[in-house]
Amino acid sequence: MRSYLDWLKEENMSLFTDFYELTMCASYFDNNKFEPATFDLFIRRLPENRSYFLFAGLEQVLLYLKTVKFTEEHLAYLKKQGFDQQFLDYLRDFRFTGDVWAAPEGTVAFPCEPLIRVTAPIIEAQLVETFLLNTVNLQTMIATKASRVVNAAKGKAVIEFGLRREHGVDAGMKVARSSYIAGCHGTSNVLAGFQYGIPVFGTMAHSFVMSYENEIDAFRAFAKTFPNKSTLLIDTYDDLAGAEKAATVAKELEKAGCKLGGVRLDSGDLAEISKKVRKLLDDKGLQYVKIFASGDLDEFKIAELLKNGAKIDAFGVGTKLGTSADKPYVDIIYKLCETMGERGKFSPIMKLSEGKVTLPGRKQVYRFKDENGNYSKDMIALVDEKVKGEPLLTKVMEKGKITYDLPSLDEIRAAAAENLSKLPAQYKKLTNSQPYTVELSQDLENLIKNLKKKLRKTSQA
C-alpha cells in the first residue's frame, strides 16, 4: 500500500512543477534554444492592509536548486506524457547551473522589487519557476502576516498555534519557520521544534478537562504531572468558575513549593473576562499566574484587546495566522526580464498584457536611509547604474553552487527584527499605512519607454 507521503521526497521535486514548464522546455530544446536568460521573482502588489513584505523562503530555494534532478522513473513517466526521447535524455543530465542573486531572508520588501534574480540557460531558469514561487509565496506571506501580529501584540509573546488548519504537512513546517522569523516566540508544532529548534508551547485542550468528572480533578491531574509549568484551560464550562478552581489548585501547588504557570482563555469576550480573571487571581495573591489567550485571534483582534485594556500576557494565534486568512496568497510572479540576443549580448525585455506590465533588464534594488538610519525610500535600477543606496540583492549562487553562508534561523530572526525596527511606524500600521516610496531609476524609466514603443510596433507587425 502506498504511503501518504511517499511522493514527498527531495528527489521528486523536479516533477513538482507546472506541466507547462516542461512543454516550454521541450520546445526550447527542440528549437536549440539554450542561451541564458534572466528571470525576476517579485510580488506585483500589496494585499489589502499590508504595507510591506517580510521576505522568507530563500534557504529552501537554494537547497532545491542545488539538488533538482530527474530519476529514471520520472523520465519513464514523462515519456508516457508524450515527450520525445532526445529531450528526456537531456533531462537525465539536467542540473541547475545558473547564477542567483537574492535578498537575505528577513528583508523588508515592497511591490515590484526583485527578491530573487535567476540568470541561467533559459531551459533551466524556466524549469525551476514553480518550486521557487510555491516556496517564497508561502513563507513570505506568513512572515509578513506574523510580523503584523507580533507588532500588534506590542511586546507580549505570540505563539503560532495554527497547525491543525494549515494547508498540509509542508505548510505546517514552513508556517512555523516563517512565523518564528517574523518574531513569534514559538510554535505548537512539535516537529518544527524537533527539526528547526523552534521553542514549542502548549498545555491542554477542552477534551482533557472533559475527560474528568469534575473540572478541578482535571486541573489537579495536570498539575500533578507538570507542577511548575501548568497552564490550565478554564473556559470549558464557565470562565470564572474555572478561574476559581485554578486558583484553588495554585494554592495547593504553593503548599508543595510549586507554582502554577498560567490559565488559558479560549472563548467569549477575552478583554472583559481577562480583567475579571486577573482580579480574581490577584485578590488571592496569585499575581505570578499568567493569563494566556487564544481563540480566533489575529492582528486586528489583538490590537483591539490591548486597546480595551485586556489583562493578557501572551497570545496563541492559530488559523488566521497559519493560513494568512484575510489574504491567503501574495501576488508573486517570476518574469523574464532579459534574454541573450543573437550576438551574445543580453537584451532587456518586458510584457504588455493589461495590468501585468513587467520591469525589463537586469536590476538591483537600493535602499536609502534617513539621518537616524531608518528606511526612507527604495530605488529599482539597472545593475550597471551607479546608485548611492544600499543594494539589497547579493550573489547567493554561482554556476549552480551555493556561494552564500546560509544564516541560522536565529540569525534570520534577528535580522528580521533589526530590519523591521528600521521601517518607520507610519509604514507598519495595521490599516491605512502610508505607502513607502519605491522609485524607478531614470535609466530604467527610459528603457521602459523605449521598449514599450518598440513592442507596440512589433505586435502590430
Query: Which among 144-152, 376-384, 419-427, 453-461 is the span making contact with a second copy, rule CB under 8 A?
Result: 453-461
> Within 362-391, which residues bind a second copy (CB under 8 A)?
none
Q: Least distance (Å) from a second copy to the CB of residue 442?
A: 24
Residue 433 is given by DSSP the state: P
Q: Of 329, 330, 264, 327, which is closest to residue 298 (Cα–Cα)?
A: 327
Output the nine-digit C-alpha cell for 303.
490590537
Among 113, 124, 235, 299, binds a second copy (CB under 8 A): 235
Q: Rg of the chain's alpha carbons, rounded to an integer?
A: 26
Nearer to a second copy, 167 or 369 (CB): 167
Instruction: Return d(Cα 311, Cα 243) in angstroms, integer.
Output: 14
Task: Count the alpha carbons within 13 Å of 459 in the hemisphere toward its beta carbon.
Answer: 9
Kindly state whether residue 450 participates in binding a second copy, applying the rule CB under 8 A: no
Among 94, 208, 346, 368, binds a second copy (CB under 8 A): 208
Cβ neighbours of residue 261 closer than 8 Å, sequence gap 6 or more: 203, 226, 228, 229, 230, 231, 289, 290
Q: Least distance (Å) from a second copy to the CB of residue 367?
A: 27
Q: Of how many residues is the chain composed?
A: 461
Left, alpha or beta for 239 (phi > 0: left; psi -120 to 50: alpha)? alpha
Among 51, 144, 179, 188, binds a second copy (CB under 8 A): 188
> Within 61-80, which residues bind a second copy (CB under 8 A)?
63-64, 67, 73-74, 77-78
Among 284, 300, 328, 377, binds a second copy (CB under 8 A): 328
Among 50, 117, 145, 174, binds a second copy (CB under 8 A): 174
Query: Which among 33-41, 278-286, 369-377, 429-437 is the span making contact with a second copy, rule CB under 8 A?
Result: 33-41
Among 8, 92, 254, 256, binds a second copy (CB under 8 A): 8
Output the nine-digit C-alpha cell for 32.
536549440
Among 344, 355, 384, 388, binds a second copy (CB under 8 A): 355
Among 82, 155, 344, 373, binds a second copy (CB under 8 A): 82
Among 1, 345, 388, 405, binds a second copy (CB under 8 A): 1
Among 152, 332, 397, 416, binds a second copy (CB under 8 A): 332
Kindly state whether residue 451 participates in binding a second copy, applying the rule CB under 8 A: no
> Within 238-257, which residues bind a second copy (CB under 8 A)?
238, 241-242
Residue 159 near residue 175, CB atoms below 8 Å: no
Site string for a second copy, 258-287 (x = CB under 8 A): --------xxx-------------------
Q: Total residues at the site for a second copy (CB under 8 A)?
A: 127
Nearer to a second copy, 29 or 436 (CB): 29
Residue 436 is given by DSSP the state: P
Q: Cell numbers 525610500 label which residue? A: 377
Phi, psi of 62 (to 5 degrees): -70, -40
- Three-state secondary-structure class, residue 134: helix
Among 201, 292, 375, 404, binds a second copy (CB under 8 A): 201
Q: Least distance (Å) from a second copy to the CB of residue 7?
A: 4
Beta strands in 195-340 (DSSP E): 231-233, 262-265, 290-293, 314-317, 332-340
Element (DSSP H or E) covering residue 307: helix 299-307
Kindly state whether residue 336 participates in binding a second copy, applying the rule CB under 8 A: yes
Residue 332 near residue 43, CB atoms below 8 Å: yes
Kindly state whether residue 13 participates in binding a second copy, applying the rule CB under 8 A: yes
Q: Is 383 exposed, middle or buried (0-12, 13-18, 19+ CB in 10 A)?
A: middle
Kindly state whether residue 85 participates in binding a second copy, applying the rule CB under 8 A: no
Query: Which among 91-99, 322-330, 365-373, 423-431 is the span making contact with a second copy, rule CB under 8 A?
Result: 322-330
Query: What Cα–Cα distance (Å) separates residue 159 from each residue in 201, 260, 289, 400?
Result: 7, 19, 18, 37
Nearer to a second copy, 214 or 431 (CB): 214
Instruction: Return d(Cα 38, Cα 124) in angstroms, integer.
Output: 11
Kindly state whether residue 344 participates in binding a second copy, applying the rule CB under 8 A: no
Kindly state whether residue 157 participates in binding a second copy, applying the rule CB under 8 A: no
Instruction: Return d(Cα 93, Cα 59) in angstroms, integer.
Output: 24
Kindly state whether residue 325 participates in binding a second copy, applying the rule CB under 8 A: yes
